[in-house]
Structure 1
């Protein structure tokens, strides 16, 4: 812990951008960072007399949020409350006032103010959702000294930058139980996210009960699906948290599971449709030239739309390569008859039909950006996911859609399943410096982090979503100038533990996986390695979607590792500090730890899950020992320099779907030693 404090101090002293955005960001660990905050000459002490009251308006959302606030406050502070909540006909020490109960939609007002005085705290908002956003911020302000817990005196005025701030969870590739979804909804609310995008169908399964077409859940779900009552329960739970639920039924592509149940809807006759077990893009596609296809979808949507009160309904529409369309002579004749020159034209024909079907149900069609074609009505909502790196400067299809008159939502740059660093995602500016008219800007609703589930189960999904999505939530809520990476990391480290307090298992399940790998042996040596290794990025782990299947093991070393190996980040900072100033304490402590770690690793009873890590552990130990000796003695031989460099070549190679991410820092150290300590 001492070394981390030294590094954080160095970061704070060297960072100017953090102070430029707001000096208080170094003092308070609020995320997302509020629109305006100033300190007051007061301090609200938390003791057993604390109470909460709500103004004359009543709201189940506020009542629930207030009781949960008190529960988390008592757990964090150890305070035994005498009364707490609710107070009838009396003002509490924490007073909540709002003007109206929200109808959850894109026009909802989520602004709030907080005023913390010595004897009272006031949260004011136009809506009940704004009030619960204020409570989420207040919880993050709880602090302590050696004698008391308190909330510092501050005045906050806050409102979101974007109206659509979402998380998409794919439950088709790997089913996620209700309790898993609910804990992520809790975490979303704590980070002020307000849209849960529920990806319910794909080639690997249909995840809802259908009373109209029961073969869908009987033949295409492996028995893993949500009943109508469970769907209603999740929607109601989300609503209580101020979160809208957008379902996605992905058509016409990604349709293998649909066609497993109802092959007559397919574009290829006499095809052996069965639930797909691999990942990737597959050929089975609904036939858009058959009347029965639209009858099926109209009846299915009529059954499902009442379960989801939100006005938006996502139809997917992505990654249809049209292979089965090209192989069907009847489809070719249909295209010619209707003047449809390409498969994109045919899919637009299909999408327009679906838009009319959904309009009858009072819904707005939303789809991935492939649906944006010249003939697609601008009443559709474009969900932008393509265009590598364009989100940084050009905005990709997001800006194109807004300029063409579509409402649009961004996910390009926020694919959290790609296992890229939090720094990468946090650096994505949704709009960039593009000049837009007011109307064009209003069409950009916001963004969503996307959690595709090819490589996750309920044990690992928390560590793939959190804590990175908390930083993404700040991109969607806070001003674009709140963008300092070091300050974000400082605050995120605190928020990460608050998410665990809330029930997210991203920290503890690492040990669960490692204990399973070792058959309940001592896991300290594997923990050390996992803190400097990261899973391979951008689908390199599952090349072409053909390495892992639905029931492959997802409790391996790569599943215990996360996208932001914490010790690697600290070591990078410590290495830079050592090279700049000569301060070696932190670097030497890390090198000592890694040099000795292989001895503990060697004590483990080996098995196939861990023995493949042996060369990594051994080579890391060798390099660390030689570098430690060189820095301590300020002396290194040519032979040892070459040994280190040769070993680093081996350490750069991926092993068991992970990479050792401290190798650049180790390389900097050996180069420094070669330049400064050789032959002394």
Structure 2
């Protein structure tokens, strides 16, 4: 009994210690284990780095990046700006060792151990990729006092929970040049993500050069595509960062761009096609009964597949409603002749043909979860995007796929283009409490963040991906019990600004958009509004896909706003606390925000009006008036029945969308009113 009590006490002490550590260090993802010592490694000009390991190219690149970012962040003029072999410097300040170069496959070992003493830092990993993951942790540990920057004395042992931690970027709906891709790859590496899923084709564009079928990039891309040399450049760049690149060619649906170039491959005889300018699900579909389609795809994949060394090749396979199949008599006859009862059966026939083509190219097929039909071979990977993900036993395709014998990855719950809160994504637990065998659990490889780009351009894409993706990266790397959202938000606030170190433009580009809105006038009033407004969520901004075309302006107020508006979060917390305690401290927090909003319309009116900001005038005015009313109430100043009636009317006005944004503090304004009764 005493032994049990002692064990429980040790567990409780460790949990308490880990909790305190999370308050101290702004690490993301949070490591598997971390212990403090009483040492401190001071950063000075004499810092040196050595590497021990074969083929150190990745680690050399990572060390160079580490030293530049370390120097920039600390202001220290480091004498030696590059790593050297351990044989040339046995006394290096930071000593990195690894055993082998990672192959960039699913089973790569990304674990590392980090030990910081007062006179030396050691980083040990099995692979070079593990070493560069550890370097990112080391950089995140950097802190300072009044006189020096230093690395706190800690020992860390770390490894990822899931082997597949990805980000998908759709470059078809809006094309994103290679500099956009590279900076996002750098950001991925900074939070230990390891799969870049490149969605290269869709109804709105075919984005890769084909020398065999040149009409694809000549007629179906608007001149916006990657050359094969650029593809190789990105793949190599990702490899240096320890990131695998998986291409997606979406077939048989989402095929308008392909059919714009080669209409004879379509399911509607005699049809002509044009690149789609709107968003949505469209009818053009490849004809799975036409042998020329398979010749085309085999030739195309044979040309393209060698550009991507990874074993996996994504064929999409989603959202095919089969309308052109239903209307084609020859396709219906084919189904009957081959005992294919449904369009799902026909698509499975198509997918199996594709898998055989990919197998000849040493590739494994990945597809969205629509491909999971009874006859689909178990060698395919099921990419889950539909179904429940909280308590997945309720019917989520991830768990269903694992139980049926498929390897599977999760994106449901990680659709960041839906513009939902980081907390919701962070609380998406891939496995939940469902009971799985060891084999079933091993088939859940991990997950991917999905950045569909109907509403994002190179100017805004970073603000839609980051910083929320950093929190999802933690969900996929860190132990399952790392779930404290308040602590995550505290750490994310720091990581958010650190993302600028690697070139992410999510913070500074906001001001670019606001200056455009104001015709380069004072943007402070627009900034205030942007801190309490968020873009409309879950595709309601572009409902039906017909408000915006691919070349519409995406420099509007909604594009400057982002999820988790910072003053809205502050106000919600202050109102919630005040409603419970009526404390003076929380009252002061509320008053300070209400005073800002009450005065803001005066500043807004000083901007020379133009058609881009005129739709915000009603929002600005009513927010100001509501804030003035609540200030009177919280300060116990007199208000009339007429004031109250006006307040309620203005609140109803503020509940409406304005210029594709919503004022996300409306409920909290009402809650404050109730608390002040």
TM-score normalised by structure 1 residue count = 0.95
Following the alignment from structure 2 to structure 1, what is the Cα–Cα distance between the partners of residues 153 and 669?
A: 45
Moved more, 637-646 or 295-304: 637-646
After TM superposition, where is structure 1 displaced by more than 6 Å over at least 4 residues in a row? none
Tell me which residue corresponds to 1:592. Answer: 595
Moved more, 301-310 or 637-646: 637-646
Tell me which residue corresponds to 2:168. Answer: 168
Report the CA distance shift for 1:17/1:69 in structure 2 as closer, same or farther (over 3 A): same
Deviations 1:104-134 (A, max 9, x none): 0011000001100001100000000000000
Following the alignment from structure 1 to structure 2, what is the Cα–Cα distance between the partners of residues 370 and 392?
A: 17
Following the alignment from structure 1 to structure 2, what is the Cα–Cα distance between the partners of residues 18 and 603?
A: 54
Deviations 1:131-166 (A, max 9, x none): 000000000000001111011000000000000000
SS in 1 for 2:635: helix
CA contact (8 A) 2:105 2:310 kept: yes
Residue 118 of structure 1 pairs with residue 118 of structure 2: yes
SS in 1 for 2:613: helix
Following the alignment from structure 1 to structure 2, what is the Cα–Cα distance between the partners of residues 189 and 288?
A: 39
Tell me which residue corresponds to 2:89. Answer: 90
Tell me which residue corresponds to 1:319. Answer: 319
**RMSD, matched Cα:** 1.4
Mapping 1:601-680, distance limit 5 Å: 601-633=604-636, 636-674=639-677
Following the alignment from structure 2 to structure 1, what is the Cα–Cα distance between the partners of residues 18 and 648?
A: 41
Following the alignment from structure 1 to structure 2, what is the Cα–Cα distance between the partners of residues 501 and 567?
A: 24
SS in 1 for 2:541: helix
Tell me which residue corresponds to 1:106. Answer: 106
Deviation, 1:643, is 2.4
Deviations 1:8-48 (A, max 9, x none): xxxxxxxx999696321111000000000011110001111
Deviation, 1:642, is 2.8
Deviation, 1:558, is 0.3
CA contact (8 A) 1:49 1:84 kept: no
CA contact (8 A) 2:388 2:394 kept: no
CA contact (8 A) 1:532 1:566 kept: yes
SS in 2 for 1:609: coil
Tell me which residue corresponds to 1:48. Answer: 45
CA contact (8 A) 2:392 2:399 kept: no
Gaps of 5+ in 1: 1-15, 675-680
Mapping 1:195-594, distance limit 5 Å: 195-387=195-387, 390=390, 394=394, 396-581=396-581, 582-583=583-584, 584-594=587-597
Following the alignment from structure 2 to structure 1, what is the Cα–Cα distance between the partners of residues 49 and 156?
A: 19
Report the CA distance shift for 1:56/1:219 in structure 2 as closer, same or farther (over 3 A): closer
Following the alignment from structure 1 to structure 2, what is the Cα–Cα distance between the partners of residues 114 and 562?
A: 36
Following the alignment from structure 1 to structure 2, what is the Cα–Cα distance between the partners of residues 20 and 417?
A: 37
Following the alignment from structure 1 to structure 2, what is the Cα–Cα distance between the partners of residues 87 and 301?
A: 42
Gaps of 5+ in 2: 1-12
Mapping 1:107-186, distance limit 5 Å: 107-186=107-186
Following the alignment from structure 2 to structure 1, what is the Cα–Cα distance between the partners of residues 89 and 403?
A: 52
Following the alignment from structure 1 to structure 2, what is the Cα–Cα distance between the partners of residues 636 and 391?
A: 49
Following the alignment from structure 2 to structure 1, what is the Cα–Cα distance between the partners of residues 649 and 247?
A: 52
SS in 2 for 1:38: strand
Residue 59 of structure 1 pairs with residue 62 of structure 2: no
Match of 1:29 among 26, 29, 41: 26
Tell me which residue corresponds to 1:3. Answer: none
Following the alignment from structure 2 to structure 1, what is the Cα–Cα distance between the partners of residues 303 and 642?
A: 73
CA contact (8 A) 2:113 2:158 kept: yes
CA contact (8 A) 2:58 2:129 kept: yes
CA contact (8 A) 2:535 2:559 kept: yes
Following the alignment from structure 1 to structure 2, what is the Cα–Cα distance between the partners of residues 181 and 136?
A: 20
Following the alignment from structure 1 to structure 2, what is the Cα–Cα distance between the partners of residues 393 and 634?
A: 55
Deviation, 1:200, is 0.2
CA contact (8 A) 1:17 1:484 kept: no
CA contact (8 A) 1:18 1:25 kept: no
Following the alignment from structure 2 to structure 1, what is the Cα–Cα distance between the partners of residues 219 and 33?
A: 54
CA contact (8 A) 1:19 1:25 kept: no
CA contact (8 A) 1:173 1:202 kept: yes
Deviations 1:313-343 (A, max 9, x none): 0000000000000000000110000000000
SS in 2 for 1:313: strand
SS in 2 for 1:331: helix
Report the CA distance shift for 1:18/1:392 in structure 2 as closer, same or farther (over 3 A): farther
Moved more, 77-86 or 322-331: 77-86
CA contact (8 A) 1:112 1:134 kept: yes
Deviation, 1:645, is 2.0
Following the alignment from structure 1 to structure 2, what is the Cα–Cα distance between the partners of residues 120 and 390?
A: 45
Deviation, 1:574, is 1.2
Report the CA distance shift for 1:21/1:410 in structure 2 as closer, same or farther (over 3 A): farther
Report the CA distance shift for 1:395/1:145 in structure 2 as closer, same or farther (over 3 A): farther
Deviation, 1:641, is 2.9
Following the alignment from structure 2 to structure 1, what is the Cα–Cα distance between the partners of residues 558 and 28?
A: 28
Deviation, 1:617, is 0.4
Deviation, 1:421, is 0.5
Following the alignment from structure 2 to structure 1, what is the Cα–Cα distance between the partners of residues 353 and 464?
A: 37
Following the alignment from structure 1 to structure 2, what is the Cα–Cα distance between the partners of residues 21 and 432?
A: 23
Following the alignment from structure 2 to structure 1, what is the Cα–Cα distance between the partners of residues 657 and 18?
A: 38
* Count of matched residue pairs: 659
SS in 2 for 1:633: coil
Following the alignment from structure 1 to structure 2, what is the Cα–Cα distance between the partners of residues 19 and 549?
A: 53
Following the alignment from structure 1 to structure 2, what is the Cα–Cα distance between the partners of residues 649 and 619?
A: 10
SS in 2 for 1:540: coil
SS in 2 for 1:22: helix
CA contact (8 A) 2:391 2:433 kept: no
Following the alignment from structure 1 to structure 2, what is the Cα–Cα distance between the partners of residues 124 and 643?
A: 66
Report the CA distance shift for 1:607/1:387 in structure 2 as closer, same or farther (over 3 A): same
SS in 2 for 1:197: strand
